Amino acid sequence: MEPNVESGAAMSPEGVPAGSQATAACAAVAVVALAVEAALVAAVGSGTSIRAAVAGHVLLGGALAVHARRARTGRRGAVLLLVGTLAFGPFGPLGVLLLAVLERRHARHATSIEAWHDMLFPPHGVDPRAELWRRIGQRASDRAPESHVTPFLDVLAFGSIPQRQAVIAIIAQQFHPAFASALKAALRDEHNVVRVQAATAIARIEREFLERTVELEEAAAGGDGPAVLALARHYDGQAFAGLLDPAREQACQVSAAERYAAYLASHPADDEARFHLARLAQRRRRWPEAEALLRPLADAGHPRARVWLMENLFAQRRYRELRELAAMPGPHSDDAAPIEVSSAVALWAQKECLA
């Protein structure tokens, strides 16, 4: 189902949609133009000179041009009537009348712009009472005995159209870089409505990124430390959101690195910002630069720096140093790290690997 632009228009004082009034007015003018053109054709058939008929045709075109210029609503139909009449004579108004009938018939079943937008992005509201009962249920049982969460990609591949639309709406409202692959998969969906919604969601996310960028740029213009750090993290997250083209990703990476460096110049004791700068350098495959930033953090016991340093050494094929680092006592990752990280560290730390 496609959106109906006219049905979302404002209402007239009489309670009739402005789009319906414009269509009716255009149809009335088309009837007059058809009558005039038919009279001119009949006059030529009865012996009137062709020159006089052409003059009448031109005068009618001038009147339609004035009408199209003065029309406040339905100007598109008035211009179409003008062009069709001048080009095809009586067939022009006849075609406009047929178009008005089809438009009126389609408007009965078409969806308004507001309803179409709500279908693409359902309004996100939280019932306070339902939220309270949900929290009570979560406290009653810390972990559900069985998980019924279906991955987004599976829903987009095997779900119904409403289910796919619901997934895209959730992604648009609570976007995370991990959802980028699902959005890109929705762009290749076989259903047009899903593809359109996915493209609209990506455009919406990029617009929100841009608006946030403008706000943070204005806040950081004075050199305020927290504002500069917030801008750096914003560029960092945008660079690895998975929705930008390679050129824009690289530009965001450079902007994030510059803001991190500017912030650390005035706040050298902020280890978390230094870690983010090191992680950014490593994602850009600048291994020596990332190692120089990660090693002091790892020696100081940063919960995530040691794992990233191990990845850095692995990328540089310095496996002996990697085994020695994994065998050193101390925290290798924080509690939020995947279990695969701990397993990999334990594997590299085994004594037989050092042999």
Burial pattern 318-338, b for ≥16 Cβ within 10 A else e, equals eeeebbebbeeeeebbeeeee
Structure confidence by residue, pLDDT tens digits, 178-230: 788 888 889 999 988 889 888 988 888 888 888 999 999 998 888 888 899 99
pLDDT over 80 (residue 21): no
Q: How many residues does the chain have?
A: 355
Q: In the prediction, which pLDDT does 118 show?
A: 63
Supply the pTM of this predicted model.
0.56
- Sheet strands (E) in 102-250: 111-112
Considering only CA atoms, which of 53, 78, 73, 47 is closest in space to residue 63? 78
pLDDT over 90 (residue 289): yes
Structure confidence by residue, pLDDT tens digits, 66-95: 888 888 777 888 888 889 988 998 898 899
φ, ψ of residue 220 in degrees (nearest 5)? -90, 0
CB 73 within 8 A of CB 21: yes
Structure confidence by residue, pLDDT tens digits, 292-350: 999 998 888 887 888 888 888 999 999 888 888 888 776 555 555 566 667 777 777 77
Structure confidence by residue, pLDDT tens digits, 132-177: 444 544 444 444 444 444 588 888 888 888 888 888 888 888 887 7
* Rounded Cα distance, 183 and 111, in Å: 25
Burial pattern 97-106, b for ≥16 Cβ within 10 A else e, equals bebbeebeee
Q: In the prediction, which pLDDT does 343 show?
A: 73
